[in-house]
Amino acid sequence: MSGLRTSEEVDVQVRNRGRVPDEADAYARRKVLVVISHVSEPVLSARVKLTQATHASAARPATAQAVVDVNGRPVRAHVAATTMFEAVDLLQERLTARIARARRYRVRGSRGGGPDDWTWREGSGHEHRPHRQYLPADERRIIRHKAFSLARQTPQDAVIDLEAMDHDFWLFTDLASGHDSVVYRDAVGGRHRMASLGTTGRQRDFEGPLSVSTVPVPESDVDGAVQRLRLTGLPFVFFHDTGTGRGSVLYHRYDGHYGLITPVL
């Protein structure tokens, strides 16, 4: 007997924030169930969050986010649009693409795919990612601090998680060196890069075009990381936290404030 859960058996949980239109919940649930029905692996859970912005100045006030647990590995998509129903349609499209890409990354990565297999091109849907709300620097605060045990994994597996979760970066502990590290997409070419607290060195040999930064990771406390993020305008800063001795990430949130991710000591 098959152990797969059919789309009808998965309870798609939908929660709202703001004045979400009537029927949007049911519409989102139906769309995600369609996505799940084409997944060959077991789908363990599916969560959707619909957010309607309250400020009238937002160009795309409707955002939709989904996280689907595919056989123990979460896959995430996040989009924004002018109306909630348009956002849900985009969510279905992007979630379908991310599940398919995550599967290809796992299959090709496990057998050592060629360069094209490891090159990420956003393609359709990239322009629909939410824009970050602008806040003056003196109004920004660290309003979310997440601390957890980092996964010990290879950089290739970290790339798989990065793409599956639709994030700007992925913080992990390099399985080979034991050093806290981060993988991310290069803003210019879209290729993956890795930075590490340890001396990764040019001699590291990766399958595919995963380049390694040889620039030393900055050492600072959290306040210093905030200053660096303000000065550079980058989406995030990976830094060697002098207070903990571990690698941490300070990042821009979509609401204009900061988030901080630190490893559990």
- Of 36, 164, 57, 9, nearest to 101 by C-alpha is 164
Cα gap 117→107, rounded to integer Å:
10
pLDDT of residue 214: 82
Q: Where are the beta strands (DSSP E) in 62-161?
A: 62-70, 73-81, 142-148, 152-153
pLDDT of residue 238: 97
Cβ burial of 247 (10 Å; 0-12, 13-18, 19+) is buried
- Of 98, 208, 106, nearest to 163 by C-alpha is 98
Cα gap 48→51, rounded to integer Å:
10
The SS3 call for residue 226 is helix
Per-residue pLDDT of the chain (265 residues; tens, 9 = 90+): 344 555 557 899 999 999 999 999 999 999 999 999 999 899 999 999 999 987 655 678 899 999 999 988 889 888 989 999 999 999 999 999 888 877 766 655 544 443 334 343 444 345 566 777 788 988 999 999 999 899 999 898 888 888 788 788 999 999 989 999 999 988 776 788 999 997 655 555 555 568 888 888 999 999 999 999 999 988 999 999 999 999 999 999 888 899 999 999 7
End-to-end CA distance of the chain: 44
Distance of CA 225 to the CA centre of its chain: 21
Contact 166, 78 (CB under 8 A): yes
Contact 13, 71 (CB under 8 A): no
pLDDT of residue 209: 65
